[in-house]
Amino acid sequence: MKKPSAPLLLLLALLFSFNVFSLPFLNSLPGAAATIYLDFDGYNVNSAYWNSGNAFTCAPSNMTDAQITEVFNRVAEDYRPFEINITTDETKFLAAPLSKRIRIVVTPTSSWFTGVGGVSYIGSFKWGDDTPAFVFSDRLGPYNPKLVAECCSHESGHSVGLSHQSKYDGTCNLTATYNDGVGTGETSWAPIMGNSYYRNMSGWNVGPTPYGCNNIQDNLSIIISQNGFGYRADDYSNDININPQMFSIAGNT
């Protein structure tokens, strides 16, 4: 799960999205079998693993088409190295193999799970029973595309096997369960599996988990070795003679 460090503003009265009928259908790699479905249009949850097994309904995300597109682009960029499709189209999700897909429900229906921006089970991507993960849009900004996207990548990261990434001091004392990164402004950075809400850049990381400073987690190795997909094919050859030639443009720059 991922918890924002800023105070939470709950707008529980805003339950219905005005973009339900114009949801943009977006795909990052439509030919890939593995699929992460960003579900913005509401979902009826019936899962033994959530809400004590009691069925409940998640309202649509209450985000505009432009905001949804920004969230998609940010999450798609995080998963760009991999042979996996990030999609907002449920038909693509339903066509994917059961053991190679996860639904991320982006919703303001959050009162059933308190105190976090999102929640997911580690490894659930390959469970084969469509156990979803959740991102609570009302607690992230609210409805801030950057924060929602970071949470979508984080919770889907849990689903593909990743734990949190933490910070320790020089004597191996835990100083932050969620590594909040380094730097300020444009060049600031944090690990996706830490707290990347308030850093400009984020990425998959090699670093310690909450289970000890010597418990090192290599995000990329876990993602490509435990989920039935690997890196996507390189669009450029390793042979310099095959790649497009560089050219110069005369004149002022």
Please report how the helices 145-159 and 65-78 are oriented relative to each other, as an axis angle in degrees rounded to 10. Answer: 40
Query: Tokens representing 187?
Result: 């060049």
Contact by Cβ (8 Å): 125, 102: yes
Question: Which residue matches tokens 């309202």?
Answer: 59
CA triple 220-73-115, angle to 5 deg: 75
Report the distance separating Cα 14 and Cα 138, nearest Å. 9
Say if 132 falls within a structural domain. Answer: yes
**C-alpha count within 13 angstroms, C-beta hemisphere, residue 34:** 19
Q: Residue 162 burial (CB < 10 Å; 0-12/13-18/19+)?
A: buried
Say if 70 falls within a structural domain. Answer: yes
Say if 198 falls within a structural domain. Answer: no
Host domain of residue 26: 20-163
pLDDT of residue 236: 81
Say if 101 falls within a structural domain. Answer: yes
Number of domains composing the chain:
1
Say if 182 falls within a structural domain. Answer: no
The pTM score is: 0.87
pLDDT of residue 38: 99
| Residue spans of alpha helices (H) in the chain | 65-78, 90-95, 145-159, 219-225
Report the distance separating Cα 157 and Cα 220, nearest Å. 10
Say if 45 falls within a structural domain. Answer: yes
For residue 82, give the CATH number of its domain: 3.40.390
Say if 60 falls within a structural domain. Answer: yes
pLDDT of residue 245: 65
Say if 38 falls within a structural domain. Answer: yes
CA triple 186-155-57, angle to 5 deg: 125
Q: Tell me the pLDDT of the chain (253 aa) as tens digits.
A: 665 543 333 322 333 333 444 689 999 999 999 999 999 999 999 999 999 999 999 999 999 999 999 999 999 999 999 999 999 999 999 999 999 999 999 999 999 999 999 999 999 999 999 999 999 999 999 999 999 999 999 999 999 999 999 999 999 999 999 999 999 999 999 999 999 999 999 999 999 999 999 999 999 999 999 999 999 998 888 887 777 766 566 655 4
